[in-house]
């Protein structure tokens, strides 16, 4: 027995998507893709910013740790025989520290911290026990003709300000101990050093205080 033409044909036939439905589906998929891309881009940007901030924090920690070590071992002014043990000129810190090594006598070393073009560096001279040689090393640092290799501590530094704790009060570093006057055995020696580093893009700086010659 034959079925009538068209009988049951509608039940077996699948209706395809219309052009409008297809365009709507494509639009939805495109919208979802854009949202996903924006979310991924936001995650990547956040990760890059977080990594940069972590590197910046790590560099600051290293710089302050080195400053603390050098400040703690600041040379005794009396042992320098009327020579300056610490001088601050604008964004440059120069100091003489005592170096201790196993089975060796203590020696003296000139240390320089300098902020130039947004980069904070540290430079150290050769260690010596000869005060005349120390004078030569110090003069080279003061005249900024020291050829010793500098170590980069931190980049993207907008400003570095320093103050000294002298006779119970803070004094601006630039006017406290200058190369012209220096520090004599009879003048009061600074007991503390305050260093503030301000990073680019930040409103406030990071401040640390160090005891001088506490070792």
Comparing 14-28, 29-43, 97-111, 169-183, the range with the smallest average pLDDT is 169-183
Rounded to 10 degrees, the C-alpha dihedral 162/160/63/97 comes to: -40
- Mean pLDDT on 136-153: 91
Which range has the worst mean pLDDT, 56-60, 151-155, 172-176, 210-214?
A: 172-176
Residue 192 lies in a domain: yes
Residue 201 structural domain: 57-211
Indicate whether 32 belongs to any domain.
Answer: no
Question: Does a structural domain hold residue 51?
Answer: no
* Tens of pLDDT, residues 15-27: 666 877 778 778 8
CA distance 116 to 92: 9
In a domain, 105, yes or no: yes
Whether pLDDT at 160 is above 80: yes
Question: What total number of domains does the chain contain?
Answer: 1
Residues 164 and 142: their CA atoms lie apart, in Å, by 19
- Within a domain: 42: no
Can you give the pTM of this predicted structure?
0.73
In-domain check, residue 8: no
Q: Is 197 exposed, middle or buried (0-12, 13-18, 19+ CB in 10 A)?
A: buried
């Amino acid at each position: 027995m034959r079925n009538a033409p068209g009988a049951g044909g509608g039940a077996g036939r699948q209706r395809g998507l219309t052009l409008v439905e297809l365009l709507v589906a494509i639009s939805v998929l495109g919208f979802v893709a854009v949202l996903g891309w924006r979310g991924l881009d936001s995650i990547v940007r956040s990760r890059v910013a977080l990594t940069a901030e972590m590197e910046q924090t790590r560099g600051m920690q290293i710089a302050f740790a080195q400053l603390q070590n050098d400040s703690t071992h600041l040379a005794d002014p009396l042992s320098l025989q009327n020579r300056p043990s610490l001088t601050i000129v604008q964004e440059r810190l120069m100091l003489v520290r005592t170096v201790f090594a196993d089975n060796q006598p203590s020696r003296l070393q000139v240390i320089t911290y300098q902020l130039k073009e947004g980069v904070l560096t540290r430079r150290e001279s050769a260690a010596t026990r000869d005060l005349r040689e120390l004078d030569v090393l110090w003069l080279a640092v003061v005249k900024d003709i020291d050829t010793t290799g500098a170590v980069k501590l931190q980049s993207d530094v907008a400003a570095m300000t320093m103050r000294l704790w002298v006779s119970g009060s803070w004094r601006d570093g630039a006017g406290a101990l200058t190369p012209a006057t220096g520090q004599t055995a009879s003048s009061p020696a600074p007991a503390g050093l305050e260093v503030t580093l301000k990073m680019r893009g930040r409103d406030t700086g990071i401040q640390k205080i160090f005891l001088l010659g506490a070792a």
